[in-house]
Amino acid sequence: MIDVHLERFDRLLLNKLQQSFPLVSEPFKQIGEEFNVGSEQVMERIAFLKERQILRQISAIFNTSALGYTSSLVAVSVPDESIETVAQAINAYPGVSHNYLRPANFNLWFTIAVPPGYDIEHVVRKLVKSAGDFPFLILPALKKYKLAMVLDMIDDGDPYDSPSSKAFKPPLVSSSGLFNLARDHIRIVRCVQEDLPLVEKPFKNCAERLNIDESTLLDILKSWLKAGIIRRFAALLNHREAGFMANGMVVWTCPDEQIDSAGTKLASFPEVSHCYHRPAYPQWPYNLYAMVHSKTFEKCENIAKNLSQAINLSDYKVLFSVHEFKKIRLKLFWDYHEGEEK
């Protein structure tokens, strides 16, 4: 069950913040107006949710490929006695944002992004070799069908009678615009990827540090959002602290000619947060991936079963994340220094 100590307003607010955050001068005031409360109450509840570690941060969520980054999921086959040591070695690379133990013949799963100008296969090979040189698979997204990590915080049977209950439109999975790798734009990215401060005019705070007008910053952010360079400006939750204890990666073996129809179908389910077509290998024949989150492992397995029936595929596995070695927001341009031209 979702944390019983959360007020209903907290849960409605979390739903709202996960979907989108207003790109306006006084966003907390606008959110408060939607719920008929003041901005002070909105900020107070957000502060409480952060203290409880339910809400991780509110920030821009970027389309990394639009910024020139190359990313991939990587699976490594590691002996049980070496798993902790290998995970720590891999986590040392700043482009590794998530790293989980998922029991299977490939049991260590991490996501990695490398900056513009770097070859991801070279970086991964070097990283895995330094960690123990175990068998691994590079599993980039050949096609993205859905990327929208939004957890429904409304309890079963709770009436949907607030702004947060409006149908959520998943963000763009690809960008229609190209990011300008100019120094000023990189500085903006580095600022807005951080947690937004809890003040009446949080964007003014960032604009002053960047030495630009608040209105200019907001216009840039809106244009990036429209072009898909920013995927969402929203809140991110700690799913376990929010009551979603089961994190399952469902993988299917899907005929190539059915991939698009199956991926599109899976993306339509609200229980699916991410859905990708990834390459298959002789030792790992799965090529269709979907992430699902639920309050229990049993419910997660039932979701996977229903999804499989919906796409008429019976060859699948549910890989549960049984241990979390790393989970952070990827900090873009970590190798950039102020005053350095790119």
Cα(10)–Cα(96) distance, rounded to whole angstroms? 31
Read off φ and ψ for residue 50, nearest 5 degrees. Answer: -70, -40
Q: Which of 143, 84, 128, 187 is nearest to 279 (CA)?
A: 143
Question: CA 200 → CA 26, 27, 197, 294, distances in Å?
Answer: 6, 8, 9, 34
Q: How far apart are CA 342 and CA 325, in angstroms?
A: 32
* Residue among 234, 201, 240, 236 nearest 217 (CA): 201
Give φ, ψ of 333 to 5 degrees: 55, 40
Query: Is residue 73 a contact partner of residue 92, using CB atoms and an 8 Å limit?
Result: no
Two structure tokens written together for 181 = 């790798």
Q: Which of 97, 329, 60, 58 is nearest to 185 (CA)?
A: 60
- Catalytic residue, from 98, 122, 239, 293: name it: 98
Q: Are 186 and 283 in contact (CB under 8 A)?
A: no
98 is catalytic: yes
Measured between alpha carbons, how far is 16 from 34 in angstroms, rounded to an integer?
A: 10
246-252 β-sheet, strand order: 143-147, 272-277, 288-294, 246-252, 316-320
Residues designated as active site: 98
